[in-house]
């Protein structure tokens, strides 16, 4: 496939917006500070292509009036911290053409690499102050179908907020009024305020920031594992396979009142056990799994409706390879559930207080935006799992019909990175996007499926 860039432009809000420095919360500027890519594919519209492009661009500039932080840029301030300069420098919008038909891509899940269809950021050569928060690329295919490559800064927003913007843009593009305004004031998460020091959380060891992931026994660092060649694949779990996993995990529940394990809990537990098996870890090898939790409804009171920013924290579950492999799926699922269950208002505030007390936040960042450094490594012997199961990413209609397919784009995935998302809409299946060392991937795929039937 050859993709030709026809035109690139910088689109700005169509009306004047507030300008100035927007304080970011500690949850915005710790963890992954890179851009997250997503792609949408659409079939041919009834309008001519020029009209489609013009409608997309005009509606974008209108939507940016309400979501103006996405047209800004970041600044680095003292203590390794970041702030968002709402200067309306704009959003790069690229128009491109691909010399193939959509049908030539066959099964989209067999083509997880969409480098040419999603804009990227050159972190090495682009100064922080010039790096856009949002980049877009619309590509037309020979058949008349088209794709939207969507690349957004994880410093600016998390998945829920990114998709709030996308859904409102689609609504405006259809000629409808805005459905819901973003809540832009991040001070609700004490952005810019000093630490409260009101609690010492008894679960401090669950803070991902306080517990560096284990390294392999006999090694003094994770540098050797970081250097290993990796590969990415997407594994489909049919509804039947998902239910088999849930039945296995729930068969040892002690009472009828025990709540059944969720799809996320059992699939995450199954992936963790499988990784321990195929990595041939020593039984006493410590291993952890990083879990990303949405806190919007875990705070007291809950965060304002349509809070626009990062409202996620990372927690960890730990164990030894021996206990995970020999234990039941329900036992491992309970480790996942117990860690998630400890995330409440007190826990979140203790994370924020911990981070606010740090003189330098850079050690808790994956600093791709600032310098070529990496944050915590959840590769061998660990995993890092993100769920897109609750994200409203499906059914995005810009006025010419809902998407044919949507999924994650390419990213700088590392060994141990897992992403769980829904399969085809309505069929109950799940997709697990996996990044592992090349030497482990084939064994992982084999054991991942075989053990569902055998355990």
The answer to whether the beta carbons of residues 330 and 250 sit under 8 Å apart is yes
Residue 333 within any structural domain of the chain: yes
What pLDDT is stored for residue 427 in this prediction?
A: 83
Residue 103's CATH number:
3.30.559.10
What pLDDT is stored for residue 423 in this prediction?
A: 85
Same domain flag for 183 and 88: yes
Query: Could you give the CA distance from residue 37 to residue 42 in angstroms, rounded to a whole number?
Result: 17
> Which H or E element spans position 325?
helix 321-326
Same domain flag for 123 and 225: no
Indicate the SS3 state at residue 353.
helix
Nearest to 37 by CA among 141, 115, 145, 107: 115
> Which H or E element spans position 39?
strand 35-42
Six token digits for residue 393: 């990413």
Query: Could you give the CA distance from residue 308 to residue 348 in angstroms, rounded to a whole number?
Result: 17
Same domain flag for 119 and 229: no
Same domain flag for 245 and 308: yes
Question: Across the chain, how many H-helices and E-strands are there?
Answer: 9, 17
The answer to whether the beta carbons of residues 400 and 47 sit under 8 Å apart is yes
Domain count, the chain: 2
End-to-end CA distance of the chain: 43
Q: Return the number of other C-beta atoms located less than 10 Å from residue 115's C-beta.
A: 11
Same domain flag for 318 and 260: yes
What pLDDT is stored for residue 371 in this prediction?
A: 45
Same domain flag for 87 and 124: yes
The answer to whether the beta carbons of residues 98 and 38 sit under 8 Å apart is no
Residue 257 within any structural domain of the chain: yes
Which of 189, 218, 240 terminates a domain? The answer is 189
What pLDDT is stored for residue 412 in this prediction?
A: 67
Same domain flag for 219 and 178: no
Q: Mean pLDDT per 10-residue run, the chain (455 residues)? A: 92 98 94 88 90 97 98 92 96 96 77 79 90 97 95 96 98 97 95 73 61 90 92 93 95 67 96 97 96 95 96 94 96 96 93 90 66 70 94 94 88 86 83 95 97 81
The answer to whether the beta carbons of residues 405 and 69 sit under 8 Å apart is no
What pLDDT is stored for residue 208 in this prediction?
A: 65
Six token digits for residue 12: 């700005």
Same domain flag for 163 and 287: no
14 CB-near residues (< 8 Å, 6+ apart): 58, 61, 62, 64, 65
What pLDDT is stored for residue 80 in this prediction?
A: 86
Q: Which residues are catalytic?
A: 154, 397
Which of 165, 189, 213 terminates a domain? The answer is 189
| DSSP per-residue string spanning 409-444 | ------TTEEEEEE-STTS--EEEEEEEEHHHHHHH
Query: Could you give the CA distance from residue 139 to residue 145 in angstroms, rounded to a whole number?
Result: 9
What pLDDT is stored for residue 252 in this prediction?
A: 73
Which of 166, 189, 212 terminates a domain? The answer is 189
Same domain flag for 82 and 161: yes
The answer to whether the beta carbons of residues 182 and 165 sit under 8 Å apart is yes
- What is the DSSP-derived secondary structure letter of residue 116? G
What pLDDT is stored for residue 256 in this prediction?
A: 47
**Most distant CA pair in the chain, distance:** 63
Residue 162 within any structural domain of the chain: yes
Range of the domain at 51: 3-189
Same domain flag for 324 and 449: yes
- Cα dihedral angle (114, 118, 122, 123), rounded to 10 degrees? -90
Same domain flag for 177 and 136: yes
């Amino acid at each position: 496939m050859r993709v030709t860039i026809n035109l690139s432009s910088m689109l700005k809000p169509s009306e004047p917006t507030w300008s100035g420095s927007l304080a970011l919360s500690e949850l915005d500027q710790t963890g992954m500070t890179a851009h997250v890519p997503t792609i949408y594919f659409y079939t041919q519209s009834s309008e001519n292509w020029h009209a489609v492009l013009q409608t997309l661009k005009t509606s974008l500039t209108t939507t940016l009036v309400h979501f103006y932080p996405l047209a800004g840029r970041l600044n680095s301030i003292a203590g390794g911290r970041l702030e968002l300069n709402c200067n309306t420098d704009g959003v790069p919008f690229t128009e491109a053409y691909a010399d193939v038909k959509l049908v030539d891509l066959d099964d989209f899940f067999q083509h997880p690499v969409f480098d040419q269809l999603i804009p990227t950021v050159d972190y090495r050569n682009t100064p922080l102050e010039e790096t856009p928060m949002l980049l877009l690329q619309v590509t037309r295919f020979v058949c008349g179908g088209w794709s939207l490559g969507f690349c957004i800064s994880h410093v600016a927003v998390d998945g829920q907020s990114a998709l709030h913007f996308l859904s409102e843009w689609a609504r405006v593009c259809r000629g409808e009024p805005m459905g819901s305004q973003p809540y832009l004031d991040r001070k609700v998460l004490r952005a810019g305020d000093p630490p409260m020091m009101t609690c010492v959380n008894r679960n401090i060891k669950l803070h991902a920031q306080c517990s560096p992931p284990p390294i392999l026994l006999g090694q003094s660092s994770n540098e050797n594992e970081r250097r290993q060649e990796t590969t990415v694949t997407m594994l489909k779990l049919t509804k039947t396979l998902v239910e088999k996993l849930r039945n296995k995990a729930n068969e040892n529940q002690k009472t009828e009142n025990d709540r059944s394990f969720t799809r996320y809990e059992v699939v995450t537990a199954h992936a963790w056990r499988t990784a321990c098996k195929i990595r041939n870890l020593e039984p006493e090898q410590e291993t952890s799994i990083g879990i990303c939790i949405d806190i919007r409804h875990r705070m007291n009171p809950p965060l304002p409706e349509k809070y626009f920013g990062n409202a996620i924290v990372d927690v960890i579950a730990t164990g030894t390879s021996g206990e995970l492999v020999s234990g039941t799926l329900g036992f491992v699922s309970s480790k996942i559930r117990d860690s998630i269950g400890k995330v409440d208002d007190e826990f979140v505030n203790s994370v924020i207080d911990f981070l606010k007390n740090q003189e330098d936040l850079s050690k808790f960042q994956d600093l791709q935006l600032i310098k070529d450094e990496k944050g915590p490594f959840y590769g061998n012997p660990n995993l890092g799992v993100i769920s897109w199961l609750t994200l409203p990413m499906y059914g995005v209609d810009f006025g010419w019909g809902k998407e044919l397919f949507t999924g994650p784009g390419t990213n700088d995935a590392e060994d141990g990175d897992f992403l769980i998302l829904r399969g085809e809409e309505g069929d109950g299946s799940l997709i697990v996007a996996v990044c592992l060392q090349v030497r482990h991937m084939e064994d992982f795929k084999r054991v991942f499926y075989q053990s569902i039937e055998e355990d």
